[in-house]
Chains A and B, each alone.
Chain A
Amino acid sequence: MKKNWPILVVDDEDVMCESMAAWLREDGYRVDTAPNGLKALELTKATDYVICFIDLKMPGMDGIETMMEIRRIRPEASVIIITAYATVDTAIQAMKEGAQEYIVKPCNPQEISMLVSRIMKFRKLQSENAILRKKLSRQYRHHDIITKNSRMQEILALTQDIASLRSTVLIRGESGTGKELVARAIHFSGSRAEKPFIAVSCAALTETLLESELFGYEKGAFTGAAAQAKGKFELADGGTIFLDEIGDISGKLQADLLRVLQERRFYRVGGNEEVEVDVRIIAATNKNLAEEVQQGRFREDLYYRLNVIEICLPPLRERREDIPLLAEHFVQRICSELGKDVGSISGPALNLLIAYDWPGNVRELENVIERAIVTCRNGMLDDQDFAWLQKQATHSQNWEVPDVPLDELERRAIIAALERKHGNVKEASSALGIDRSTLYDKLKRYAIVH
């Protein structure tokens, strides 16, 4: 852990730098030294030092000036001014300018040891606090998984069962079905909940950007890489990384990712030192990865590594019973965020929402509700607030029922579902809202060859 909290020692006397660095290294810290202020600034730009020990009297840029510049670059860094001569004036000036401590050399080893340990503990608390704050806000979003649909409830139960495992999870579902919410539910229900949850949208970045985003880079790895940067895998160490739109990554990144999955190690871009991480990977896609594998667009070995536990999220049109619940929930949440006073949704408006097919799924429903609330002039959302949806919903409602027996209707529905799902019985049964064995029975009954 200590290696992740680097320390800088700045002194024009070589023996002071060397001895202090050696003493701190024995304690397990990574320590850099600088013989003057300019070198210290150069190092500070490249590394996020937790503590900077700076000698007060140095030729050229003195200790106070160096401290001020360092704090400008790294406001979070704790600066400890060291001097051989204690005067009240310099001590006051140093503290005024932002020094955390002021020590007169030589000082007792216990004093410095306690000082360093106190600052490190404070920094650790700060970082934990940041993680907890994020966690709290994300837990709020976790409650957005609102459902009375039996398939969704099975999925939520599964997320609890697999939460504390390390196995990779592949979440499939159309855009807007809540893949990231499910990933967060898995993370925050398990033993990694106290550690970071890092989400990366693989489709949003180019191959090279995504590579440096995922694995980090060393200073000078490419133009503009002015300082070393940790990648998402390192940031997620101990926690979970959520790789959204995994089906969109390039062949090279597929190979790199496979290596991380197999060995839990990787190199930063431009680096030659292996970085080891303990990260749980949850991937998501709206593509049929098995088909991508067949087409040669996705590595088979990576697919099997990712697909250890598979979760398929149903689209909103296949869980219409959840639409009123979700709509009411979004009304309450968005009204509270926007400071609007909209009590509820009228019956006709609700019918309109239920009838609509929601190609953008829950996310689209959320956006539609927000848009309606923003433009709503009454205390209730009615069908006029969703007028622009009405046309499509009416089209859906006016679907002409063919004049055929009910069995024939069912047979046609099954054939249509199988065609839509490219013959995949599991997916077709999900789409039809029945289990696989029931579908097989019906296939036999209607003599449907698939």
Chain B
Amino acid sequence: MNALYVVAIGSVPEPALQWAEEAAAEWFPLPLKRLSALAIPEAAYDTKRRQYQSIEIMKMMAQSAPRDAVRVLGITDADLAIPVLSFLFGQAQLNGPIALVSLCRLHQEFYGLPADLQLLRERTVKEVLHELGHTFGLTHCSQRECAMSLATHIQGVDAKSDRYCARCGLQLVDRVASL
């Protein structure tokens, strides 16, 4: 059976990869595999903005995906952006195999606050579920507490839960089963 791969993009703390794997294992009944860490492509770096273009990283992930990969979830500490937006918590291909989550703005330190490992874990799990949900065709959900609700700031991430609402959950089960 095809597997869901988790891969570090650049240097990523091991616990964060494990949180991602645990979250994926809980919701997606697919064989879980770890891919060797991938370096962030130079082309992704925007010198003016000192950020990384998510599209370039996702292209690289797609090229590096093993044959048996049904989904590839990248975890990075890089600050992600796209040309029109100032930042992204993550990005995914809707109904596609690639999902990418950035830890950069999930750290409390990014906002000048003391580190909080538990909070970082919760935020990471929510974003992992959110981006993987997109790869299974789920779009943003209007239920505030659903992991698929759109968060455009860190308070929005904290406001949602680390689970899908009943409607999104059912759609997900259906789509995973049809793989």
Contact = CB atoms under 8 A, between A and B. Distances in A.
Contacts of B87: 109
Interface string B79-104: 00111111110011110000000000
Contacts of B35: none
A82 B150 contact: no
B163 interface: no
B175 to A, nearest CB: 15
Nearest to A106: B86
Contact of B56 (A13, A15, A27): A15
Contact of A19 (B53, B92, B153): B53
A41 interface: no
Given A15-B56, A19-B53, A107 B84 contact: yes
Interface size class of B (residues with CB under 8 A): 20 to 34
Nearest to B131: A26
Contacts of A107: 84-86
B91 A110 contact: no
A16 B92 contact: no
A26 B94 contact: yes
A114 B11 CA distance: 34
B178 interface: no
A2 interface: yes
A105 interface: yes
B49 interface: yes
A106 B84 contact: yes
Interface in B116-153: 134, 139-140, 150, 152-153
B86 A27 contact: no
Given A15-B55, A26-B139, A109 B94 contact: no
Q: Is the interface of B mostly helix, strand, loop or mixed?
A: mixed
Contacts of B91: 19, 22-23, 26
A434 B131 CA distance: 70
B82 A26 contact: no
A18 interface: yes
B54 interface: yes
A43 interface: no
B82 A23 contact: yes
A16 B81 CA distance: 11
Given A15-B53, A18-B55, A22-B94, A109 B83 contact: no
Nearest to B43: A15
A19 B139 contact: no
A20 interface: yes
A26 B85 contact: no
A219 to B, nearest CB: 23
Contact of A108 (B54, B56, B134, B152): B152
A23 B165 CA distance: 21
B94 A106 contact: no
Contacts of A136: none
Nearest to A19: B82
A113 interface: yes
A25 interface: yes
Contact of A26 (B53, B83, B84, B134): B134
Contacts of A106: 49, 81-86
Contact of B82 (A20, A28, A110): A20
A164 to B, nearest CB: 25
Contacts of A2: 139
Contacts of A53: 84
A105 B93 contact: no
A26 B131 CA distance: 9
6 contacts: A22-B82, A23-B88, A26-B91, A106-B83, A106-B84, A110-B152
Given A15-B55, A19-B55, A20-B82, 18 more contacts: A15-B56, A15-B82, A16-B82, A16-B84, A25-B94, A25-B139, A26-B139, A26-B140, A26-B150, A53-B84, A103-B84, A106-B84, A106-B85, A108-B86, A108-B152, A109-B85, A109-B86, A109-B87
Interface of A: 2, 13, 15-16, 18-20, 22-23, 25-28, 53, 82, 103, 105-110, 112-113
